[in-house]
A and B are shown apart, each in its own frame.
Chain A
Amino acid sequence: MAVETGSLHSLLQKGVVWQAYRQPSDKAVSLSTGYPELDQALPGSGWQRGQLVELLYRREGGGELRLLLPALAQLCREGADEREPGWLLWVDPPHIPYAPALAEAGVDLARVLVVRSNSRRDRLWCLEQALKSGCCSAVLGWLPTGQEKAIRRLQVAAVEGGAAGFLFRPAGCREQSSAAPCRLLLQNRASGAEVTILKRRGGWALPAMHLLLGEERILPAIHQERPELRLVD
């Protein structure tokens, strides 16, 4: 990479500054999240291919995958007719991605690859290779705090390869700067979760929105009872 000169150009390249006229609108680039409320808040009405999305969350189990599964399923539907559809690559997930749940959500398991690397160096290498290869529909990675430089590289790779890149990171990264053009914070509530868009292209941060994230399907009984309870109140 060239030496950073601090010029506007390099700031633009780093993704620190965005330009309003670059508001993404291309349908082919945009990928619906499956949550209309969220789509509305995101530039281009959804996740953007060729961009990194950072998902900050506290601990597994709060809906961090449910937030993504509709988009992964959408990618699988799109690629179904392709001769050589791209991978959905999971790099060092914290637990076993459970095949029955993915299949139920509509993810084509034949396109899923799970990578277990031995070191952080290999993990970053693998993420970078996958993002820039151009043959991954989505790349999912788990990265700890810090990593500012690495994320900038990954963003460059994502732009090059056109894959949708999702980085799962601890909520503690919230105050750290990041080259990812889209950053979301997931916070659990008594039911569902609150999603805050910390950073988005072509717009300011927004107030948190409450999403059930598919909980209504996992726990139908509870979510059907709610209106009745209100009636009683």
Chain B
Amino acid sequence: MTASRASTGREPLWLYLHFPLLALECQLNLSGVAAPGAAALLDDAGRQLRLCNGDAVRAGVEQGMAPATAYSICPELQLLKPNPEQARYQLESLAFWAGNFSAQISLYPPDGLLLEIASMLHYFGGLESFRQRLEQQQLRLGYGACRATGHTPQAARLLARAGRQLCLADKHAHLQQLQELPVNQLELPARMAEQLNGMGLQRLAQLLQLPRESLSNRFGPHLLDHLDRLVGRTPDPQSPFLPPPQFVRLLEFSRELESSQALLFPLRPILESLQGYLRLRGLQAEQLQLLLVARDGEQQLLEICHAGGASEAGIWLELCRLRFEQLRLQQPVLAMQLLVEQFRELDAETVDLFSPPQGRERPAQLLSRLRVRLGEQAVQPLALYPDHRPEKGWTTQGTANLEVVAVPKGRPAWLLRQPERLAQAQLERQVELLKGPERISGGWWDGLPVRRDYYIGRWSDGRLGWLFRDDCGDWYLHGWYG
């Protein structure tokens, strides 16, 4: 262990995020309201309050109260039943989110995440800026967390669970903090903690001063092992959280959402999770599929694409917002599922080395934004198409290759959508034919044959038009030399 540390030249550093109110907050956040008010979570039997949010505590409600007592203190209190599956699901979402900060994450159900951060500090420019970034993003997350660093996984975990908000880099500083921990916060079996307290051992420091043999004899090898892993005497390998091949998140709202704009609020944290997920896997998303489930069970699928692939939550949120602006909900929405399965490899060069300076968007990104707001068909490329008929000589498919198409010369820059009939009298009065005829014929192969004689004419006001006479001798205007 020491040897490997020396070889990488890096002290191990861990960060533990403890979400004490996760089981309560995961339900509140699904109500789609920014400020849900006083709320508490019941225990499994429904006899006591297990968790209270900040508003409830301020109103005087305490953990362990009977529901009736709590109601008498705070009549508007929202009481919720525990839903362990949902909490577990949410912990996973948080693990994705943590992908923004670490490449190695471990789940500690029911309410904790462990992040390896020593290798990340370099990218974030040091521990302090790492902490700032984390704090900023955490504010938007909607989950309260106690976080603490540690030189071992267990040190970080115990310090966070003890409510110490720590952000230290040094091993000795961590040891010092650990030694202050009371014995009953060491997560020892309850009986053992009692026994130790009975022996007059209040803090970890006292425990560590005892001879190892006598500790082992009296309390068994497990205690010694636990302490060794805590202080870093023996290694403590962690099982990493592996992101699945697809990103799927389902939100079942606890109330009906009536407007499409209201969907943005719960969507934001999912997109931040998506960003972390993409970072973990080193990918970019090309398409989001948002499935909205209405009250009557009807489903609506929204596909939101990014032409060049993107990972940032802000970009996707903007695209979703634009899409929602175009959306009229027939029915209130009860649930929303986000599925992402179209990825592209993160082109490190594009993103990091040659990424445009701040304020310059990537071309693909603008294209995506315009398409999301105006519709897929509203924004089209332009290309040549090998066909002699002028109206077929161009395409919006963008597939034709310039090299294989001979560019016809002397064409007007404007083509009318439909040739415009010119009366003979108008022609004689207004138009002076300056060049022509140029015979254009073709199309016998697809049933739309043309045989026309094209001329360039000057209108009496000086403008230049492109006109033709068809087989029947009728004159049409087909374009302008704009």
Contact = CB atoms under 8 A, between A and B. Distances in A.
Contacts of A65: 413-414, 482
Contact of A113 (B379, B409, B416, B417): B379
A136 B370 CA distance: 13
B471 interface: no
A95 B464 contact: no
A168 B463 CA distance: 16
Contact of B413 (A59, A69, A126): A69
Interface stretch (A6-14, A97-105, A198-206): A97-105
A145 interface: no
Given A109-B383, A215-B464, A103 B481 contact: no
A61 B394 contact: no
Interface of A: 58-66, 69, 83-87, 93-105, 109-110, 112-118, 122, 125-126, 129-130, 133-136, 160-161, 188-191, 193, 215, 217-219, 221-222
Nearest to A125: B373
Contacts of A113: 367, 370, 379-382
**Which 5 pairs across A and B sit closest by C-beta, in order of nearness?**
A188-B462, A61-B480, A61-B463, A134-B360, A99-B394
B73 to A, nearest CB: 49
B121 interface: no
Given A61-B482, A115-B370, A219-B435, A96 B360 contact: no
A143 B56 CA distance: 57
A86 B402 contact: no
Contacts of A63: 464, 481-482
Contact of A98 (B360, B362, B415, B465): B415
Interface in B393-445: 393-396, 398, 402, 407-417, 434-435
Contacts of A103: 384, 402, 407
15 contacts: A64-B482, A65-B413, A93-B414, A96-B394, A98-B390, A98-B479, A99-B383, A100-B384, A100-B393, A100-B411, A112-B381, A129-B369, A134-B361, A218-B435, A222-B435
Interface of B: 350, 354, 356, 359-367, 369-370, 373-374, 377-385, 390, 393-396, 398, 402, 407-417, 434-435, 456, 458-459, 461-465, 479-482
Contact of A104 (B409, B463, B481): B409
B413 A98 contact: yes
A136 B173 CA distance: 53
B414 A114 contact: no
A115 B411 contact: no
Nearest to A215: B464
B462 A95 contact: no
A95 B367 CA distance: 21
A136 B366 contact: yes
Contacts of B373: 122, 125-126
A58 B460 CA distance: 14
B366 A135 contact: yes
Given A100-B407, A190-B458, 16 more contacts: A63-B482, A65-B414, A66-B482, A84-B364, A96-B414, A98-B415, A99-B385, A101-B412, A104-B408, A113-B370, A115-B378, A126-B370, A129-B366, A133-B361, A191-B462, A217-B410
B365 A61 contact: no
A87 B361 CA distance: 12
Contacts of A125: 373
Given A98-B411, A221-B435, A135 B363 contact: yes
A133 B370 CA distance: 11
B410 A218 contact: yes
B365 A135 contact: yes
A112 to B, nearest CB: 4
Nearest to B366: A133
A102 B461 contact: no
A189 B458 CA distance: 10
B374 to A, nearest CB: 6
Contacts of B361: 133-135
Contacts of B402: 103, 109
